[in-house]
Amino acid sequence: MADELDLSGAVDMLKNMLSNEEGQQQIQNIVSMLGGENQAEQPKKTNDPDNIEMIMKLQKVMSIVNDAENSRQAAFLRSLAPLLKPERRDKLNKAVRLLGMGKAIEVLKQT
Cα 87 to Cα 3: distance, rounded to the nearest angstrom = 39
Write the pLDDT tens digit of every residue in 19-69: 777 777 777 777 666 665 444 444 545 556 777 888 888 888 888 888 888
* Dist CA 27 CA 58 (whole Å): 9
Average pLDDT over residues 64-93: 90
Q: Are 34 and 59 in contact (CB under 8 A)?
A: yes
> What is the distance between the alpha carbons of residues 32 and 39, in angstroms, rounded to a whole number?
9
Element at 94 (helix H, strand E): helix 86-110
Domain parsing of the chain, residue ranges = 2-34+49-110
